[in-house]
Amino acid sequence: MATSKQDSGPFDLTIRNGRIGNADGTRFADIGVRDGVIVAIEQGLPAGKEDVDATGLWLLPGGIDSHTHIEQLSGMGVMCADDFYSGTVAAAFGGTTTILSFCAQHRQDRIPDVLADYAQRAKEKAVIDYGFHLILANPDEQALVHDLPRIIKDGITSLKVYMTYDKLKLDDYQLLDVLAVAGEQSAMVMLHAENHDMIRWIAKRLLERGHAAPKYHTIAHDALAESEATNRAIALSRLVDVPVLIVHVAGEETVDIIRKAQQLGAKVFAESCPQYLFLEASDADKLGMEGAKFCCSPPPGDKASQEAVWAGFKDGTLSVYSSDHAPYRFDASGKLPKGDATTFKEMANGVPGIELRLPLLFSEGVMKGRLSIEEFVALTATNHARMYGLAPRKGAIAVGADADVALWDPACKVVVDAAMLHDRVGYTPYEGRELQGWPVRVYSRGRCVVKDKELQVERGSGQFIARTRPEPMIDRKPSAGRGLFSGLVGLKNPFSGK
């Protein structure tokens, strides 16, 4: 593929002699870049002002991580360890060139104030491109009728809602309100699906019996809590005929529920994360408080659950692979607010993973033959771009796309050590793992961001990406069979009764 733009002067950048991997195939070709955009892909391109020989390397689209918690105050009032500088630096060193992070509304917050706050912090600090999802905790009339339509128009075309956590959870009625507005406004709704009362009921009985260690977190968050809530979320989305995406899928039964719903035609999509491929519930059963380093919600399962997630990625049941980077330090500022006396209900919930997300999957998936390079690219970049309104600008190496390119060395071997990582967490649950394959150079919009293990760009050089309608919403054709919902389509004010 070449374009007439090739004749308008020398390229700013050429990357030559590498093998390009996209979700739809691979080829040996050179990449020509001008003004941050790919303008030519063909063999034998002339040298650019910056000329890179990529012999022996894979040229892959820069990763998109669509599930990150950065510089975010949790529902428990705990601030993440990473700000938009350290978080995006860590992402870049792991081959990711675009992140979507959460702007968290707490119940008392005004949505415009929340978004303005996060936007300012990211603008000052981010080194790669970014966008936002809104965490919606208070779906009142102001939010549903005024704020959501406005922010969706401004390019924040996705939001997240919770079915658990005391300070964030929405009931089913509220979820239906949110889904109805999302359907009308063409936004993607992401759901944290766990049954709140199941977890609360088990946790109360565990604590009454003195079972407070980190390992009991995995018992309180029984796999049935995830599968029940997922089944209910799918039913709610079917009622109003609006697509949903279930985030951080962990359990074997949950994967099966999603697969069967998809086979029946339900518009349900799903995501999973490194912790559900590479960690197990038993990791939380360590001496003292060490198990807290492995605790997230939903918790990892057993070997069968890991295999179910792998199978879900392979057959398309799970279409995006994100980090769910939740960076909390192993001290009173994060995981252990009461030191060794912290109960499993009091510790900050989540694990870091933004830098290791791609190397883990490349090593254990591509290099060990569990995934093709095309499947790797789809799961780590292309499907994210399509799901969240970033395509065709992001997610593929193509003429007209941003020059977001990671150069991967499949022969590079790395032993994971927390000291080598660029986040501010201070530990990694993947300590000591030997990985094969690593991004050795990373470009964002044609700018070299990482080279020779050094950062090449300044803080604040990333750009906010206003997103368009997600593809599942573009393709949406409301079902004629849902008579109840047919009378609500086009409802401008869900409180008006009109």
pLDDT tens-digit readout, 274-313:
999 999 999 999 999 999 999 999 999 999 999 999 999 9
Q: Which residues pair with 406 in a beta bridge?
A: 60, 442
For the segment 441-452, the average pLDDT, to the nearest whole number, is 98
**What is the assigned CATH class of domain 62-392?**
alpha beta
Which position has the token pair 């290791």? 356
Stated pTM of the model: 0.94
What pLDDT was estimated at residue 77?
Answer: 79
Q: Which residues pair with 444 in a beta bridge?
A: 447
Q: Residue 482: pLDDT above 90?
A: no
Q: Residue 258: pLDDT above 60?
A: yes
Q: Residue 38: pLDDT above 90?
A: yes
Residue pLDDT, tens place only, 124-146: 999 999 999 999 999 999 999 99
Q: pLDDT band for position 474 (50/70/90)?
A: confident
For the segment 62-68, the average pLDDT, to the nearest whole number, is 98
Handedness of CA 119, 120, 123, 126 (dihedral sign): negative
For the segment 433-461, the average pLDDT, to the nearest whole number, is 98
Mean pLDDT for the chain?
94
CA distance linking residue 268 with residue 237, whole number of Å: 8
**Which residues, at least 6 apart from 361, have a Cβ–Cβ distance to it below 8 Å?**
274, 277, 321, 371, 376, 379, 380
The two tokens of residue 436 are 């094969």
What pLDDT was estimated at residue 9?
Answer: 75
Q: pLDDT band for position 2 (50/70/90)?
A: very low
